[in-house]
Amino acid sequence: MAKRKSKSNNLLIAGIVIAIVLIAFNFYISSQLKTLQQPRIEEKTPMMGKPMSRMSLTAFDEDKAREFMDKNGDGKCDACGMPIEQCIKSGMMQCSGMDPSATIGILGSQHIHADFKVYIEGKPVDFEPYAMDMAKMDAKITSSFIHVDKGAPAPEKTGDVIHMHATGIPLRLFFESIGMKLEGDCLQVDGEQHCGIKMYVNGQENTEYGEYVFEDLDKILITDGKGEDLEEQMKSITSFAEGH
């Protein structure tokens, strides 16, 4: 009789232990899902003496996210099956961690800068109309992932420095976000195609063009080779990225 009672007690204890383990596991899964559903936004960090505004995907970014992650248009991520809006709120443009072909990291996964100049017909392209105001996060923002900033203190000018706020962002995404197109050695500006351009990174010719993912403090020149000589265009590239 005592043995039977002891066996019953052991079964009861085992049942309680299993129940506790199941409850803990369910709690862990619930907490992970809750975390994933929360928007991933970049934390405030100092930039040019002022706190950086919190960032989220822009309309352009969201359209690209749907293009990358929901190719069949069913409202779900092709790689993980989650609602596409949930992935977007998590700061994803591509399904990082689930899609083996994904190369673009979550928004805020890094913040680096490069000095930048583009010359067409011998004149530098003016990026002022395409700049974003980090202090206001106004409607003119083009892409939170890669952009030029407005309101840099003199002598820096808008467009001297390009900002990347995630890993793996190709240069073509910047041009696409502002209505231009960099494909191969052709750059489309204001609807006009300019082919035969050359790109230089840190003084060396680079044939990756729009597929290039710049590194911190790179110096990038894109030129159609017209107007002033190449040496003068190279000299015009600033060193303001070091101060960001």
- Within a domain: residue 173? yes
Mapped to the 3 state alphabet, what secondary structure does the chain carry? CHHHHHHHHHHHHHHHHHHHHHHHHHHHHHHHHHHHHCCCCCCCCEECCEECCCCCCCHHHHHHHHHHHCCCCCCECCCCCCEHHHHHHCCCCCCCCCCCCCCCCCCCCCCEEEEEEEEECCEECCCHHHCECCCCCCCCCCCCCEEEECCCCCCCCCCCEEEECCCCCCHHHHHHHCCCEEECCEEEECCEEEECCEEEECCEECCCHHHCCCCCCEEEEEECCCCCCHHHHHHCCCCHHHHC
pLDDT of residue 27: 53
Same-domain check for residues 87 and 166: no
- Pick 9 or 80 by higher pLDDT: 80
Same-domain check for residues 133 and 231: yes
pLDDT score of 114 more than 60 = yes
- Within a domain: residue 17? no
The 10s digit of each residue's pLDDT in 156-177 is: 999 999 999 999 999 999 999 9
Cis peptide before 129 (omega within 30 of 0): no
| Total domains in the fold of the chain | 2
Same-domain check for residues 88 and 117: no
Same-domain check for residues 218 and 99: no
- The last residue of one of the domains, among 77, 106, 135, is 106
pLDDT of residue 97: 86
CA contacts within 13 A on the Cβ side of 153: 6
- The last residue of one of the domains, among 46, 77, 106, is 106
Range name among 25-29, 151-155, 208-212 with the lowest pLDDT average: 25-29
Same-domain check for residues 92 and 203: no
Domain of 69 in residue numbering reads as 57-106
Phi, psi of 12 (to 5 degrees): -65, -45
- Within a domain: residue 197? yes
How many C-beta atoms lie closer than 10 Å to residue 29's C-beta? 10
Number of residues in the chain: 244
> Exposure string (b/e) for 106-118, b if CB count within 10 Å is 16 or more?
bbbbebbbbbbbb
Residue 182 contacts residue 171 (beta carbons within 8 Å) = yes
- Within a domain: residue 213? yes
- Within a domain: residue 27? no
Same-domain check for residues 120 and 233: yes
Taking all residues of the chain, what is their mean pLDDT, rounded to a whole number? 83
Same-domain check for residues 152 and 182: yes
pTM for this prediction: 0.77
Q: How far is CA 16 from the centre of its chain?
A: 48
Residue 224 tokens, joined: 């159609």
Taking the C-alpha atoms of residue 210 and residue 193, their distance in angstroms, rounded to an integer, is 15
The residues near 84 (Cβ < 8 Å, ≥ 6 apart) are 65, 66, 69, 70, 75, 76, 77
The residues near 103 (Cβ < 8 Å, ≥ 6 apart) are 94, 168
- Within a domain: residue 140? yes
- Within a domain: residue 1? no
- Within a domain: residue 178? yes
pLDDT score of 192 more than 90 = yes
Same-domain check for residues 119 and 102: no
